[in-house]
A and B are shown apart, each in its own frame.
Chain A
Amino acid sequence: MRSLLPPEYIVRIDQDRCRRCGRCVRNCGFGALSFEHSFWHRAKELFQGSTEDLQKVIAHVEEYVPDRVVADNRKCVQCHYCVTHCPEGAINIEPNPLAYKANHYWLPHYQKNIVKQAESGGMILTGSGNDKPYFSYFDHLVLDACQVTNPSIDPLREPMELRTYLGSRPKALEIEQDSDGEPVLKTKLTPQVKLEIPIVFAAMSYGAISLNAQKALAMAAKECGVLMNTGEGGMHRDLYPYADHIIGQVASGRFGVNPEYLERAAMLEIKIGQGAKPGIGGHLPGEKVDEEVSRTRMIPVGSDALSPAPHHDIYSIEDLAQLISALKEATAYTKPVGVKIAAVHNVAAIASGIARAGADVIYIDGFRGGTGATPMIIRDHVGIPIELALAAVDDRLRQEGIRNQVSLIAAGGIRHSGDVAKAIALGADAVAIGTAALIAMGCHVCQQCFSGNCSWGIATQRPELTRHLNPEEAGQRLANLLRGWALELKEILGSLGINAIESLRGSRLRLRGVGLSEQDLEILGVKPAGR
């Protein structure tokens, strides 16, 4: 059916500056750019088989003027790969200024989606996280600082500690004395995983993202002493050297899960849900399942990889407890087992159940969390903000006296180190970053991850595109980002007059709300600014 949708963007090419090098044409994953009347096309047209034609072709070669680059605006997704890489700076992309008749209710976004569905009869897919103008609680929380009565601490002159351990902790330690009367530890702690910065990379599977992108994440995780997460796509052999810095995910599809996989990872994570698509499964189309993905996921080449919405062996909290204990048995209790859930209405009770089911870490993903592919209607309308979910979970676990049993990872829309500090003050042990990590690698949040056409070589398996991403360089960018955030966190701690991150954890007195309702403040456990 002919599409009635106007293009979203207009690609402007400055033909005076363009040297017709063709880089943009080759690089666009979406095929939005091409040469008009290509040289060979014209030559083929001229040559019908006669000698005369041959002369015309020769004349054409002699007269050849390189062709113009033209854009099919309909195909452009505004990913900026061509703009960023054009050596002449000759490309610009603008939103289509086409004005819809003003209407505060039937916004163009909704009208376009209706047209799309009227044409396709399908669900509208999207990638990345919820981009709708919901209220951001992070943006209405501010941090404290010391003045006079308690001094701030200068991170350039004093040690500033960000080290964080993930794992379950007993309520108390038992100490005994050795033969010299020196105290020694009697309690045997369950496994703890060390983070030098309280940040981990969010789960992004091989399949959803390229191997180069995963390698970059793994390299940065190793360099910075943090963790990356395989997602549900198994662990490619190229990641084995980084396995000490990798969380191995066990999701509903169980792709790539075998004893060696469990053995290798530094920590395991059972994925129940994801902030961008709570209660929704996953679907990696067969076209993306090439030789390597097939081997890593342990499925035939070209077959669709379907992750069921629930785990087919988890229909209750006791089933989850069984899987947690099965994974611990399988790995001889050598690594923490976490559970990842989406932030939904009843998240506090669910998290409490998960803690009691034996999880060592609970990963809560808020509704701004990203994804490789999800129905837009789910991404934009299901789930709750991470700030509220985190505060509710931390409160509940403390009320029940079991906060020490689990570490909390908060995720879903962490944009900068300020968000990290606020999440920790609300009660998180660490945060996870997905979208921020992708942006560090080049992503411009065009939200087309599901298409497999990512020009940046991140969310694609097409070999001509994945080579756009240099794992070493992308890894360095990620490491730089973490380093920058770590420096900022140290400044924040210093201004708060503390020199260890655990002194901020759950310290909601160091937060104040600006412009929040009484109810919001109560849920967040935060006072209004001025009080």
Chain B
Amino acid sequence: MLLREGEVRIPSGCAVSAILNVKGRCINGEAITQSIACMRERSNGLGGGFAAYGIYPEFKDHYAFHLLCETEQGRLDAEELLRQNFLIDRSEPIPTRKVIGIENPPAVWRYFARVRPEKAVGCSSTAEGNLVTSVVMKINKHCDRAYVASSGKNMGVFKGVGFPEDIAAFYRLEEYEGYLWTAHGRFPTNTPGWWGGAHPLGLLDWSVVHNGEISSYGANKRYLEMFRYRLELQTDTEVVAYLFDLLHRRHDLPLELVCRVLAAPFWKDIDRMPEPQRRLYTALRQVYGSALLNGPFSIIVAHGKGLIGLNDRIKLRPLVYARKGDFVLMGSEESALRRIFGEPDEVRAVWGGEPVIVELEGGSAQ
């Protein structure tokens, strides 16, 4: 029997793309779909997906859980787990349409929920985050064929098996308005045929799209396991998402430094840094050496307040940055960025190991 994702590790090649309006102005899903569709030959129809931010203004303080459920029992079990910890204010199927090329879709469902008052330990955002994370991990592990695609506020992940433009049509993304969109087209070397295995990967407000194969996966995985993360999917994207979660949310490292851990500067460069920078970077590598992502990757990490683009430290995969007015674009290929708004004001390749951190003006969406 063919093992599905999570039971076996499947290397993939990919296309990634992202659009952010730094003023927080919302656009619908058509632009990002055009961009990722432009790189069709970088995917093979076995996975596509989108993350969209700012799409649920009417529920912007609720956790929006997007679930992919292959069995009804799995969905009910997941719902029960959610109910134990959250007050669910709305529960509904995510609107879809029939699309040629999208076969056997699972039930896609969304829940808008608030943490139960009695569960809100200390009311800190970290404690709430830990609760959401643990519930997500429990559903993914214990509920039959149910999988949480995203669990953030005012955002959602839409993904599945198919070419990304077909997935966009399936989820009717043209009907959503968001200020930040990321997209992913997948080229797995095996046929998982499982929707949970598609990207982006979402956890809390974070979503990750990733192109590459992280050769240090084993070291990173065992490092994360020490902090009680369960790597159910065996994918690199999962590793990236959890590392951001650990280093930024739990260890409170600034995003710039998180990137400097994941794509660490070489010792030869650290040795030449002035103090106290050298001391800082030496300590980062000494303490977080096991979090170094080694091997080819270009990743785009989105969160509620912005976007991070990062290449591996010797740039083994492509990543291009462009700016057009209020829009910042990133993607695997320049063509995909030009496809959206025509000639950009600025376009350049991202350096190996260079974190490109773009934040919303004023810190949050309008």
Contact = CB atoms under 8 A, between A and B. Distances in A.
Given A149-B189, A158-B314, A498-B294, A169 B219 contact: no
Interface residues of B, number: 49
20 contacts: A149-B12, A149-B189, A150-B215, A151-B316, A158-B314, A159-B266, A159-B268, A167-B286, A172-B251, A173-B251, A182-B277, A185-B279, A192-B286, A398-B225, A401-B226, A404-B226, A497-B296, A502-B290, A503-B295, A505-B290
Given A150-B212, A183-B256, A509-B9, 13 more contacts: A150-B11, A161-B267, A169-B286, A169-B287, A173-B287, A183-B257, A185-B276, A398-B226, A497-B215, A498-B295, A500-B292, A506-B223, A508-B218
A503 B226 contact: no
B272 to A, nearest CB: 13
A451 interface: no
A189 B218 contact: no
A300 interface: no
A173 B295 contact: no
Interface string B188-224: 0100000000000000000000001111111101110
A497 B212 CA distance: 12
Please report whether the interface of chain A is mostly helix, strand, loop or mixed according to DSSP: loop
A183 B216 CA distance: 27
A507 B11 CA distance: 17
Contacts of B121: none
Nearest to A189: B283
Contact of A161 (B218, B266, B276, B280): B266
Centre residue among B215, B254, B280, B284 by max chain A CB count within 10 A: B215
B215 A401 contact: no
A505 B288 CA distance: 12
Contact of A503 (B216, B251, B287): B216
Most buried by A among B9, B267, B313: B267
Contacts of B226: 398, 401, 403-404
A502 B219 contact: yes
A165 B12 CA distance: 34
Nearest to B297: A150
A189 B219 contact: no
Contact of A509 (B217, B250, B313): B217
Interface string A485-501: 00000000000111110
Interface residues of A, number: 42
B289 interface: yes
B215 A498 contact: yes
A210 to B, nearest CB: 36
A510 interface: yes
Interface of A: 146, 149-151, 153, 158-159, 161, 163, 165, 167, 169-170, 172-175, 182-185, 187, 189, 192, 398, 401, 403-404, 496-500, 502-510
A498 B287 CA distance: 19
Contact of A510 (B218, B257, B280): B218
B219 A165 contact: no
B264 interface: yes
B43 to A, nearest CB: 15
A184 B287 contact: no
Contacts of B250: 172
B219 A505 contact: yes
B253 interface: yes
Contacts of A151: 296, 316
Contact of A149 (B213, B225, B277, B314): B213
Interface in B279-334: 279-280, 283-290, 292, 294-296, 313-314, 316
B19 to A, nearest CB: 28
A398 B253 CA distance: 22
Given A507-B216, A507-B222, A163 B267 contact: yes
B287 A172 contact: yes
A169 B226 CA distance: 14
A503 B261 CA distance: 12
Contacts of B9: 509
A333 to B, nearest CB: 17
Nearest to A498: B294
A499 B213 contact: no
Q: Counting chain B CB atoms within 10 Å of each CB, which of A150, A504, A508 scores highest?
A: A150
A386 B219 CA distance: 20
Contact of A506 (B215, B219, B277, B314): B219
Interface string B37-81: 000000000000000000000000000000000000000000000
B217 A505 contact: no
A416 B244 CA distance: 37
A100 to B, nearest CB: 49
B212 A183 contact: no
A187 B218 CA distance: 28
A498 B216 contact: yes
A183 B280 contact: yes
B257 A502 contact: no
B218 A175 contact: no
Nearest to A152: B215
A503 B215 contact: yes
B13 interface: yes
Contacts of A499: 294, 313-314
Given A497-B295, A498-B215, A503-B216, A170 B287 contact: yes
A496 B215 contact: yes
Contacts of B292: 500, 502-503
Contacts of B295: 150, 497-498, 503
B227 A401 contact: yes
Contacts of B296: 150-151, 497
B44 to A, nearest CB: 13
Contacts of A507: 216-219, 222
B269 to A, nearest CB: 9
Nearest to A150: B213
Contact of B280 (A167, A184, A502, A505): A184
Contacts of A505: 219, 289-290
Nearest to B213: A150
A159 B212 CA distance: 20
A181 to B, nearest CB: 10
Nearest to B214: A150
B189 A500 contact: no
A506 B291 CA distance: 12
B232 to A, nearest CB: 16
A507 B277 CA distance: 29
Nearest to B188: A149
Nearest to B234: A509
5 closest residue pairs by CB, A with B: A509-B218, A507-B218, A502-B289, A503-B216, A497-B215
Contacts of A500: 264, 289, 292, 294
Contacts of A175: 252-254, 257, 280
Nearest to B189: A149
B216 A506 contact: no
Nearest to B261: A173
A448 B251 CA distance: 55
A163 B213 CA distance: 24
Nearest to A395: B222
Contacts of B280: 175, 183-185
Given A173-B253, A497-B295, A506 B268 contact: no
Contact of A184 (B252, B268, B276, B286): B276
A321 B289 CA distance: 28
Nearest to B9: A509
Interface in B12-41: 12-13
Contacts of B225: 398
Contact of B219 (A149, A158, A504): A504
Contacts of B286: 165, 167, 169, 189, 192
Contacts of A153: 314, 316
A196 to B, nearest CB: 9
Contacts of B277: 182
Contacts of B219: 502-507
B216 A173 contact: no
Given A150-B11, A150-B212, A506 B287 contact: no
